[in-house]
């Protein structure tokens, strides 16, 4: 017997092509998708424990937010309108030194996950410190996640001795207990300018031995690139290539200041790129050469970055920004069409994380990570092209139901897994402590 049958939906599979099944049906058993089809007129639908008439709503794969810093929701709106260097060195790192604890990371992560799942994100890929202290909170909310333990050559929360940073990351992975296979660890070396060559190679070696994803911020600002050219005579991406840390299990976050040679390196090594357009705009980092990466065959995912540089975790805003930013930058409205951008937020995101055998499209054999959007609303009426609405008109508040691994975690816009009011109370109480010590 099927667990769930959804029918009469506009099903956007985001499979090989951008396929749409108007009045389509989707069947779920044991948490997996077993069939996606267009029932013939008068066809008798299979029995299921739960049958949902989508009533013409859009049904699509859950969104993949490929770059977050979950605990940073507690710093939302604390340090706006600054360039990256000042934002990080003068505001964010001191706030992290003062306020990041095992308890606060769990609180911030839970808040971020709640925001994301209510907005249709079913998978995220994170990088922060003390990740083992918030894996349980992520699991409680019910989403799928890869949590990269941060590695940096400075004292960091939970790792006061930087000489032990990679050792500590290995220990975090060794004692990993998220309580669910949906939440897995990774290694996140912060950036080439905060990790020595030895740290980067040791971090990548640990990730390889443990079979994990290796993540890094790179080439985020013009200053980073210019400093690197001055100090090393090569770009940050060429430098990482020289260290041998680029391959198909490496996620390059931002990769904004990349020339044609850098794009060719990324394509040759198979490293993946996470594009964070809103964070790059807000911190005035620059515009990543995403059309060039795509033309070179690089897998490009989309991410929001953390809440202190965005300042929300909406992949709808991120899709809209990604589509428009490159059009104005290139002076060409045909670049980054809507279907391409939906792909980046779903199947390409899954591919970047090495999860495309499991998620990213509504394909029989994959896990049932999906969302249902409420389309009977003025701003989504009429509906000609689903991709257009998903990128240029839909927003997080349109997400009605969310399923992860066959389990509903949001129904009728209500989060089923945790007490949201209690969570927001706890976050507000925490913020009162921050407000007295942080500059505004």
Residue positions forming the annotated binding site for Zn(2+): 67, 69, 217, 305
Size of the site for ligand LTUXU72L (CB under 6 A): 18
- Residue from 76, 133, 144, 217 in contact with ligand LTUXU72L (CB under 6 A): 217
Q: What angle do CA 58, 359, 302 make, to 5 degrees?
A: 80
Cβ-closest residue to ligand LTUXU72L?
A: 150
Nearer CB in complex with ligand LTUXU72L: 13/221:
221
Q: Rule CB under 5 A: say whether 318 interacts with Zn ion.
A: no
Q: Rule CB under 6 A: say whether 279 interacts with ligand LTUXU72L.
A: yes
* CA separation for the pair 238, 292 (Å, rounded): 17
* CA separation for the pair 239, 229 (Å, rounded): 10
Q: Rule CB under 5 A: say whether 305 interacts with Zn ion.
A: yes
Nearer CB in complex with ligand LTUXU72L: 36/427:
427
Q: How far is the CB of 306 from ligand LTUXU72L (least distance, A)?
A: 5
- List the end-to-end C-alpha distance of the chain, in Å, as a whole number: 57
CB atoms within 10 A of CB 92: 21
Q: E strand or H helix at 145, and its extent?
A: strand 144-151
Which residues belong to the annotated binding site? 67, 69, 96, 190, 217, 220, 305
* CA separation for the pair 176, 183 (Å, rounded): 10
Nearer CB in complex with ligand LTUXU72L: 97/177:
97
Q: Rule CB under 6 A: say whether 306 interacts with ligand LTUXU72L.
A: yes
Q: Rule CB under 6 A: say whether 71 interacts with ligand LTUXU72L.
A: no
Of the candidates 417, 324, 313, the one whose C-alpha atom is nearest the C-alpha of residue 68 is: 313
Listed ranges 183-191, 225-233, 237-245, 351-359: which one lies at the site for ligand LTUXU72L (CB under 6 A) = 183-191
Q: Rule CB under 6 A: say whether 318 interacts with ligand LTUXU72L.
A: no
| Dihedral in degrees, nearest 10, Cα atoms 319, 323, 324, 328 | 150
* CA separation for the pair 48, 36 (Å, rounded): 14
Q: How far is the CB of 272 from ligand LTUXU72L (least distance, A)?
A: 17
Please state at what angle helix 260-269 crosses helix 236-243, rounded to 10 degrees: 30
Q: Rule CB under 5 A: say whether 115 interacts with Zn ion.
A: no
Q: How far is the CB of 88 from ligand LTUXU72L (least distance, A)?
A: 5
Listed ranges 88-96, 237-245, 330-338, 343-351: which one lies at the site for ligand LTUXU72L (CB under 6 A) = 88-96
> For the window 12-51, what string marks contact with ligand LTUXU72L as x by the rule CB under 6 A?
----------------------------------------
CB hemisphere CA count around 160 (13 angstroms): 1
Of the candidates 387, 322, 406, 401, the one whose C-alpha atom is nearest the C-alpha of residue 12 is: 387
Q: Rule CB under 6 A: say whether 398 interacts with ligand LTUXU72L.
A: no
Which residues belong to the annotated binding site for substrate? 96, 190, 220, 305
* CA separation for the pair 373, 59 (Å, rounded): 6
User: Interaction with ligand LTUXU72L in 330-359: which residues (CB under 6 A)?
Assistant: none
Q: How far is the CB of 178 from ligand LTUXU72L (least distance, A)?
A: 18
**In this structure, are residues 77 and 435 in contact, taking their beta carbons and an 8 Å threshold?**
no
Q: What angle do CA 360, 349, 369 make, to 5 degrees?
A: 30
Q: Rule CB under 6 A: say whether 96 interacts with ligand LTUXU72L.
A: yes
Cβ-closest residue to Zn ion?
A: 305
Listed ranges 116-124, 188-196, 316-324, 373-381: which one lies at the site for ligand LTUXU72L (CB under 6 A) = 188-196
- Residue from 7, 29, 69, 249 in contact with ligand LTUXU72L (CB under 6 A): 69
382-387 contacts at long range (C-beta below 8 A, 24 or more positions apart):
383/10, 383/58, 385/338, 386/10, 386/12, 386/20, 386/58, 386/60, 387/12, 387/18, 387/337, 387/338, 387/339, 387/342
Binding site for ligand LTUXU72L (CB under 6 A): 69, 84, 88, 92, 96, 127-128, 150, 152, 188, 190-191, 217, 220, 279, 305-306, 309
């Amino acid at each position: 017997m099927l667990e769930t049958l959804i029918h009469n939906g506009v099903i956007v599979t985001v499979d090989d092509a951008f396929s749409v099944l108007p009045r389509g049906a989707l069947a779920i058993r044991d948490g997996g998708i077993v069939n996606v089809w267009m029932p013939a007129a008068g066809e008798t639908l299979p029995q299921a424990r739960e049958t949902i008439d989508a009533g013409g709503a859009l049904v699509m794969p859950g969104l993949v937010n490929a770059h977050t810093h979950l605990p940073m929701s507690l710093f939302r709106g604390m340090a706006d309108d600054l360039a990256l260097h000042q934002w990080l060195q003068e505001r964010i790192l001191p706030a992290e030194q003062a306020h990041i604890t095992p308890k606060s990371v769990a609180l911030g992560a839970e808040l971020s996950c709640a925001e994301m799942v209510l907005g249709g994100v079913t998978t995220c890929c994170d990088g922060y410190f003390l990740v083992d202290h918030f894996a349980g909170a992520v699991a409680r909310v019910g989403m799928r996640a890869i949590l990269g333990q941060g590695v940096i050559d400075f004292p960091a929360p939970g790792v006061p001795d930087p000489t032990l940073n990679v050792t500590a990351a290995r220990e975090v992975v060794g004692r990993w207990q998220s309580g669910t296979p949906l939440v897995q660890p990774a290694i996140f070396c912060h950036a080439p300018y905060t990790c020595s060559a030895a740290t980067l190679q040791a971090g990548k070696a640990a990730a390889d031995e443990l079979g994990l994803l290796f993540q890094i911020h790179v080439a985020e600002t013009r200053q980073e690139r210019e400093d690197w050219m001055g100090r090393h005579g090569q770009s940050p991406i060429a430098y990482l290539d020289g260290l041998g840390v680029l391959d198909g299990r490496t996620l390059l976050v931002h990769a904004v200041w990349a020339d044609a040679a850098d794009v060719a390196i990324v394509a040759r090594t198979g490293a993946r790129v996470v594009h964070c357009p809103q964070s790059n705009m807000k911190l005035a980092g620059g515009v990543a050469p995403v059309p060039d990466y795509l033309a070179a065959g690089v897998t490009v995912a989309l991410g929001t970055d953390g809440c202190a540089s965005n300042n929300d975790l909406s992949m709808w805003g991120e899709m809209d920004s990604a589509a428009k930013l490159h059009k104005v930058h290139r002076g060409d409205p045909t670049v980054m069409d809507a279907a391409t951008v939906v792909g980046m937020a779903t199947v390409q995101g899954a591919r970047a994380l090495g999860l495309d055998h499991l998620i990213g499209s509504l394909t029989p054999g994959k896990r049932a990570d999906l969302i249902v959007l409420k389309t009977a609303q003025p701003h989504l009426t009429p509906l000609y092209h689903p991709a257009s609405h998903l990128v240029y008109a839909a927003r997080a508040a349109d997400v009605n139901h969310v399923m992860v691994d066959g389990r509903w975690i949001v129904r009728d816009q209500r989060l089923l897994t945790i007490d949201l009011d209690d969570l927001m109370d706890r976050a507000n109480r925490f913020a009162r402590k921050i407000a007295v010590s942080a500059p505004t």
